Structure 1
Amino acid sequence: MQDYLSKFPDGIFRVPANYYLAQCAFNDGLDSIAREAYEFVASSGELSFRKQTVERLASLFYAEQNFQKAFFYYQQVLGLVGNADEGRRARLGLMRCAKSIQNTAVILQYAESLLQDEGLPGDWRTEALLNAARSAFELGDSANAKLYFTQVKNEVKGEAQAEASYVLSEFDWVTGKYQASNDEIFWMIDNLPSYPKWRWKSLILMAKNYAGLGDDFQANYTLDFVIDNADIENYSTEAQNYKSELALQREREAQQTVGVDSLSMDEFLQEEGDELDD
């Protein structure tokens, strides 16, 4: 093929010659030659080899970690799929490329598309579910983030389940459901004790819940436990910072209470004085 192309670069069979050159080069592990020849075929507009060509280009660029180019070709693959499995693979490739280039909205788009597919293999569903949950959370889509993280907690085992439990407890904390948040944390600590990152994060959140419930003794006790025992330094520091923040917050609240009480006493004395004058 290379001989033909070198002699007849503009020959009538240049497109099929480049395609078969690409196939042979790919089979021999000569990816750079294969990619160049496939790109020629893709840019020619010739339809005969288009589907196989863009599929191969998508996988080649993905393997080279050129995710922008891979995304471009996976989009073309998606428009040419002939069956459900090919469509799944194209959407999976698009989701993975979007993740690699940190396009959160597009990650969510293709993750949700995959999750609607009842024939999706289990490991792909897990991957799509995690991407959907994390992307929705990052985009501030609380409703969908909570929905997907609930599914992660119910369907996925291991550290992802601990992550989901923590995020769900954080949602409760944000909305002032402090006891519900602590209940979720207790469940996670009891059932998933092997993931220190999420354990320490959850204990700090537990302290915040206790503070929200007005139980500063338990809040400080929990923070002291993290400070003294956390084997990941930044969580010990975070606990210490929150303990100082909580103490300062309570001091300000006490000062405000004293100020209000003093104002009330001044008003009372003024009223008493007015009555005596009368």
Structure 2
Amino acid sequence: EAAVQKDPKTEYAANALRGLRQVATFDLKNVERYLNFRANLGLPDESMGAKDTLVFESAKGYYKEGEYTVATGKLEAYLKDFPNGIFANDANYMIAESYYALKKEEQSLPYFEKVIDAPYGEWTEEALYKSSSIYMGNDEYQKAIGRFLLLVEKTEYDVYEKDALVGLMIAYSNLEDFESTVKYALLVEGNKLVENYNKFQARLLLGNAYFQSHKYNEAYTAYEKIAGETQKVMAAEAIYQMSYIKYLQEDYKTSQELAIRLLKEFSNYPYWYSKGYILLADILIKNEALVDAKYALKNVLEHSSDQKIIDEVNKRLAEIKFIEEAALKVVEKEEVFIDLGDEENVSEELFNIEEEEDDEPLDTLNFESTTPTDSLNQK
């Protein structure tokens, strides 16, 4: 600066001025110092194109060094001064990424959307990927679907396509669009890049979609593929659903066998353990084994603190009480003795179930869904 001030018109001063521009822009990241210094000397102003570049490069330096809070302020100031600037799309992307890195996803969304709305470029796919994940986290499934579909259409990377297909499958499932869930679950299952975990997911959501569409045989087949291939929570749900399908089809023998299998193999998952006992009680009620049904239900009450589970148990206990009272009225009217049994006559063979103590980690996603996808939202 001193060399330039001494005689701004010399070649030496011109070289010094260029050096100052470089240092102020890239090292100090303070291009205003250079521009103000130049203006105070009465030198010709930089062109708008040159200013555009210098201001952006200065702000970009903060982003590249991970100073995201400062970067957002500098880049937003650049966009204010140059709303149609040469680097407007880059600035929007860097602001979005900075907010995303700062865990301020809501603030990043408008900038990702600006990148998406701009002509296809270097940052389009990443913006689609990040925005779709934010929408999924916000349970805004319809918006997420729009971004996933664009990603599938535009991406040149198989990994992005694979993740978008998984996202579409999950989003449609949460919206209870079972036809679309089936479509994307089959695409996920057939994708070579999809990990086994996501393939199990696909089969479970496929089974659930078929189940909700009352296509029980197709659902049973989908669940069966999971039940034999994993010992984790998705298999627990699959076996429960298989048992429930047989219950609905009035095949109580097979339904009971599957319920007992669930209780023996998956006792380390309290939710499905309780659901298994409740379903077993339903089967026993159908078979008029009321004492055994009460025993199963009271077992659940002793082990569960889940209010929804407790409500289900109490509903069935009330049903059993109603059946017993109705039977007693018949006895009084006809003076015929009917042995309703007592709790000392519980079938020991039926309830000779050894509980597993292994505490395996859940293999589920953190997203909300509707019945019967309980294993996907168990905490």
TM-score using structure 1 length: 0.72
How far apart in 1 are the matches of 2:324 and 2:89?
71
- Match for residue 177 of structure 1 among 251, 255, 276: 251
Other-structure match for 2:292: 222
Question: Does the 8 Å contact 1:67/1:100 carry over to 2?
Answer: yes
Which stretches in structure 2 are left out of the alignment for 5+ residues? 1-55, 57-74, 305-309, 332-379
1:25 to 95, 99, 107: 95
Amino acid in the other structure paired with 1:115? E
Q: Contact (CA 8 Å) 1:58, 1:73: kept in 2 or not?
A: yes
Q: How many residues of Structure 1 are paired with residues of Structure 2 in the alignment?
A: 247
Question: Aligned pair 1:81/2:81, yes or no?
Answer: no
Task: Quote the Cα distance in structure 2 between the aligned partners of 1:137 and 1:253.
Answer: 39
Percent identical:
16
Partner residue of 2:311?
Answer: 234
Residue pairs, 1:109-120, within 5 angstroms? 109-120=183-194
Partner of 1:244: 321
Aligned-pair CA distance for 1:198: 3.2
Change (3 A) 1:188 1:227: closer
Which structure would you say has the larger RCO, counting Cα contacts within 8 Å and 6 or more residues apart? 2
Q: Give a deviation string over 1:29-65, Cα, whole Å, max 9, x none.
A: 3656653333233324x23344344334334444555
Q: Distance in 1 between matches of 2:117 and 2:274?
A: 54
Structure 1 position 169, deviation (Å): 1.5
Q: 1:196: how far off?
A: 4.0
- Supply the distance in 2 between the matched residues of 1:204 and 1:252 (Cα, whole angstroms): 27
Gaps of 5+ in 1: 255-278
What does 1:128-277 correspond to in 2, within 5 Å?
128-213=202-287, 216=288, 219-229=289-299, 230-231=301-302, 232=304, 233-247=310-324
| Distance in 2, Cα, partners of 1:92 & 1:9 | 37
Give CA-to-partner distance per residue, 1:81-100, whole Å, 9 cap, x none: 22432211111222233345
Residues 222, 118 of structure 1: CA spacing in aligned structure 2 closer, same or farther, 3 A cutoff? farther
**Residues 95 and 107, structure 1, Cα contact 8 Å, conserved in 2:** yes
In 2, Cα distance between equivalents of 1:205 and 1:59: 37
SS of aligned partner of 1:155: coil
The equivalent of 1:259 in structure 2 is: none
- Corresponding residue to 2:120 among 47, 52, 59: 47
Q: Quick one: which amino acid aligns to residue 221 of structure 1?
A: V
C-alpha root-mean-square deviation of aligned residues, in Å? 3.3
Write the deviation string for residues 105-161 of structure 1: whole angstroms up to 9, x where unpaired: 433332222012233112222222222222322232212221121122112323332
Residue of 160, 164, 177 corresponding to 1:90: 164
Question: How far 1:225 moved relative to its partner?
Answer: 0.6
Give the Cα–Cα distance (whole angstroms) in 2 for the partners of residues 197 and 4 of structure 1. Answer: 54
Do the aligned partners of 1:71 and 1:94 also contact (CA within 8 Å) in 2? yes
Say whether the 8 Å CA contact 1:204–1:222 is kept in structure 2. no
Q: Does structure 1 retain, via aligned residues, the 8 Å contact 2:188–2:194?
A: yes
